[in-house]
Amino acid sequence: MTNNTERFFTQICDELIAMNALTQRERESYQIPVNNGQIVPDLTEKGVDPDALATAISKVITNMVLITANDLQGEVVQFETGTDAFLLINNDIVCFVNPFKTELMKRVVAMRKKEEISYTRFGIVSYGAVVSGQFAAAETSNKHEVFINEETEKARAEQIITKFIDRAIEWHASDIHISAGIHRGDVRVRVDGRMRPLDTFEMELYERVTNTLFEMANMQPNRTSANDGSIQWRTSTNKEVELRLAEVPTKVNGKRQPKFTLRILSSGKGVMQLDHIGLARRDRELIRRCGRKPKGIFLVTGPTGSGKSSSLLSVLQDIRKDNPDRAYYTLEHPVETEMEGLYQIEVDDSGDLTFSTALRSLMRLDPDVVLVGEIRDEESASRAITLALTGHLVFGTLHTNDSQGAISRLQDLGIESSYLSEVLIGASAQRLVRKVCQHCSTVHGYDELASEFMSAPWIDESFTFRKAKPGGCDKCGKTGYRDRQIIHEIFVSDEETREMILRRETGVAIRRDQSVRGVFNTLWEDAFRVIGEGVTTFEEASVCLDVDDLQTVIKHKAQIFTGLGLANREKTGTTVRLSSKGADVAPFAVMNK
């Protein structure tokens, strides 16, 4: 390796970073090539956008002109393939994909001496332009054949796929979306719950890219119905992941085009301990109390992607640690994390083994504890309740807005109130909010609170909070946020709640009763805890939670203070907990940490 190699490589990477075609983290992970000729192949293999790479090289080698597809007019002759390719345009400009390879330069000079070619200038052309045939419409010489064939296109498609999958995994994305645009193929990823652009590629290669994905996943292309498949993937850093593919035909420019979503399942991803998933201490202890019950059902609610199944796996892991003599079964779609000591059953609603059929067979499998990945219909709800009634401890998930909504949802699914009152241990709801970047965010005080937040009775003048920096920094990928944190609410059924269920009172009424009695803290109250700890922001919480709900929470909590003559404590950071045994006043921070 020479000093020139390091200098050229560094300058090119700096230009790529300036164009947002390369991140600083990616740059730091790259090794300096062994010689000048390896700079372009190495960066191309890493998945750097070929057009951006050609632009960066032209800024470093200023005596070479950058040739784009629009410039490829007239007579165009291609010599060689891949990164060794060079073009002769109108017997005037010789364009290189890799101008650092001295062997190619010597060959071009020798060809001119033999009068095989004639040129006056040197230029740089994108590898993408070469392999995609962007100059195919130009008039070509009879002396040489332009070498754009199926194998070259396939290699380019595989390179595109490798680039966006490896980069998505590096960004800790949960999903990759590949779709056809009007002019280019589009790749976006979901990072920390939000969609972000990742890459684009030539529309001419879209069919080749999607056909390669079909082939890799052993799927048959079908323009009229949806498809599912999977790919076992090994990254350039030797990390193994499973990709679950879902494909559906979409219409773009009057033509059906496949749209792919790839869910990234990391084989090395473990289940976090219950103490480490971000729950308040009070909530952790309530969940552990529920897990010690010999029978009944506990439900976790929330929207898709809010981490319900992951939280329940953490709960099961915690329960099993103290109770290894139980038989634990899970019904999941899919099994994302394999755990020791659990019998994990992967169900598939498109096949014979659905949630309902698996629940039907569980009674014969001698379970003690069962996790139902999703209770979605009358049959799965009925069988989950039957398991709980017959002496089993059941955990399940539901799609409802809040924890008390689980009661109304099960009643809507035909569960008798008498059965529900008997077996319901409790329910929780959760959301995932993005963590504010600790490197670029700023700290603010109580006097800068928005009016809708300042009225919360559990906040005092010592309250501080963080704000995200617009545009973020390199540490957070220019977003102001990095990773996610759970916010959570939980109730445990007590005598009053069971009586309200028997009377078929609504989840809204039960929620209000529990809140006013002080036995229940809402999602918004937990959000204030996390905000006060400097983990997330009001802006982020307001995206996940309804600000109108906050005013309802404040109203209910104010009734507690007023009823106990504690109006003077409204700004002392004190909250009140009521039970059938009387009032219990405790610092909010103590209750929730």
* CATH code of the domain in which 213 resides: 3.30.450.90
Q: Distance (Å, rounded) from C-alpha 253 to C-alpha 69?
A: 23
| Domain termination site, one of 266, 296, 322 | 266
513 plus 543 within the same structural domain: yes
pLDDT at position 151 is: 56
| Domain termination site, one of 225, 249, 266 | 266
Is the Cβ–Cβ distance between 315 and 329 less than 8 Å?
Answer: no
CA angle 103, 104, 108 (to 5 degrees): 120
Q: Distance (Å, rounded) from C-alpha 155 to C-alpha 82?
A: 9
Query: Six-digit token pair at 256?
Result: 């059906």
pLDDT at position 516 is: 86
243 plus 346 within the same structural domain: no
For the chain, the helix, strand and coil percentages under 3-state DSSP, each to the nearest 5: 40, 25, 35
Strand-by-strand arrangement of the 240-252 sheet: 194-202, 184-191, 175-180, 255-266, 240-252, 227-234
Q: Distance (Å, rounded) from C-alpha 242 to C-alpha 236?
A: 15
118 plus 219 within the same structural domain: no
Q: Distance (Å, rounded) from C-alpha 389 to C-alpha 404?
A: 20
For residue 458, the domain's CATH number is: 3.40.50.300
For the chain (length 593 residues), average pLDDT per consecutive 10?
Answer: 76 92 88 86 86 90 79 70 75 84 81 80 82 47 39 78 91 94 91 92 88 90 82 84 92 89 79 93 95 96 92 95 94 87 87 84 92 92 95 96 96 96 97 96 89 78 91 90 96 96 94 90 94 94 90 77 48 35 34 38
18 plus 167 within the same structural domain: no
pLDDT at position 570 is: 39
Q: Distance (Å, rounded) from C-alpha 310 to C-alpha 271?
A: 7
113 plus 134 within the same structural domain: yes
108 plus 201 within the same structural domain: no
447 plus 499 within the same structural domain: yes
449 plus 565 within the same structural domain: yes
500 plus 381 within the same structural domain: yes
* Tokens 């067979």 found at: 361
Secondary structure element (H or E) that encloses residue 559, with its range: helix 547-563
Coil, strand, or helix at residue 431?
Answer: strand
The one-letter code for the residue type at 427 is A
| Domain termination site, one of 209, 244, 266 | 266
**Can you say whether the dihedral through the CA atoms of 593, 451, 482, 521 is positive or negative?**
positive
247 plus 345 within the same structural domain: no
Give the number of domains in the chain. Answer: 3
378 plus 450 within the same structural domain: yes
**CA torsion angle 498 500 502 507 (round to 10):** -100
pLDDT at position 1 is: 43
The full length of the chain comes to 593
Q: Distance (Å, rounded) from C-alpha 368 to C-alpha 356?
A: 18
* Tokens 């010789």 found at: 94
Q: Distance (Å, rounded) from C-alpha 401 to C-alpha 306?
A: 11
Query: Model pTM?
Result: 0.69
250 plus 301 within the same structural domain: no
Range of the domain at 464: 274-592
